[in-house]
Amino acid sequence: MKPINTALCSFGMSGYVFHAPFIEVHPAFNLYGVWERTKNNAQAKYPHIKTFRHLEVMLEDENIELVVVNTPSVTHYDFTKQALISGKNVIVEKPFTATVAQAEELIQLAKEKNVTLSVYHNRRYDSDFRTVKKILDEGWLGAIVEAEIHYDRYDPGLSYKVHKETPTAAVGCLYDLGSHLIDQALVLFGMPNAIYADLDTFRPNSKVEDYFDVKLIYGTHRVTLKSSYYVREILPGNILHGTKGSFIKSKADVQEASLQAGKTPDTKDWGAEPEKEKGLLHTEKNGKIIREYVPTLNGDYMAYYEGIYQALRNNKSVPVSATDGMNVIKIIEAALQSDKEKRVVEL
């Protein structure tokens, strides 16, 4: 089997934690190279790779089949476009682009070049989300009436990553954390009919929004997506209420922490949450009330890369399509409009 020679566009936290370990462990991939302008951090950890000082030189390398655009969000459109023009298959980090128009252009370009384009919405493979989806798919809650998905933290200081605090395209809490929650909501419930959003800035000296409360309005139910940097006492990340019952689950996926600690995805019991993080299911089945804690499925980011392998070698659909990524941007654009105009925005 010909390995999928893969190159990363950076080796910061994203490359070190979310991409390189999976590319290195998956037998179908070969971590071929990394674009680092001045440092050699990637080569220090993976001595067999090539270090590129310029993106253009990396894209000219005919041995590279797949490029991962994992640079700051403001660069996603430009770097992805360059990679596609070079005839490379591309994985681009979330958020896909700053605008729907940019997303549409890249999707069309990928079609013209006959290459694969996918957006790295890895939070589909978090343990809590996988468990929530299983509960819904099995019909335990009946018809959904209301759902809340949170991505909260207590972190009032500004990020040391200057690009995250500079008010440019595709920057801010809604693009950064909101794209995760929006994608999860769209996987579970599809596109809403309308949106109402409240965005704000609470951290001292912050120039980008660091709070959002987005309401996705469906014909039969409502979905609330929330994030704040001032939540010291963490709330359940997933709260779902249906006509039969409720499911409450913490956001307790361990994969990011495990990767930062140096563990690799081939570790035994990869992605297994602590027992104490089981979700609470309170519902009715066959006329009997059930209130119990249910086992959590393991988190599995490797499933994304397995999906990319299947797409490139076996002509399967990519695990997250560029259209999926574009739909997230559609929601973000509508949310920004809703906040600006203080009204419900129809989709």
Q: Backbone phi, then psi, for 53, in 5-degree steps?
A: -90, -20
The ranges assigned to domains in the chain are 4-121+304-320, 123-299+331-346
Residue 91 vs residues 50, 259, 319, 325: alpha-carbon distances, Å: 19, 20, 11, 11
pLDDT at 286: 87
- Domain topology for 123-299+331-346: Dihydrodipicolinate Reductase; domain 2 (3.30.360)
* Residue 284, SS3 per DSSP: strand
Number of H helices, E strands in the chain: 13, 15
Give me the architecture of the 4-121+304-320 domain, per CATH: 3-Layer(aba) Sandwich (3.40)
User: What's the confidence (pLDDT) of residue 297?
Assistant: 98
Of the candidates 149, 147, 152, the one whose C-alpha atom is nearest the C-alpha of residue 223 is 147
pLDDT given at position 329: 98
Whole-number Å distance between alpha carbons of 53 and 46: 17
Amino acid at 289: I
- pLDDT for 207 equals 95
Per-residue pLDDT at 253: 96
The pLDDT value given to residue 175: 97
Query: Tens of pLDDT along 210-257?
Result: 999 999 999 999 999 999 999 999 899 999 999 999 999 999 999 999
What is the DSSP secondary-structure string of 91-137?
EEESS--SSHHHHHHHHHHHHHHT--EEEE-GGGGSHHHHHHHHHHH
Question: Which is it for the CA torsion 313, 31, 255, 265, positive or negative?
Answer: positive
List, for the chain, all residue ranges whose pLDDT scores fall below the cut of 70.
none
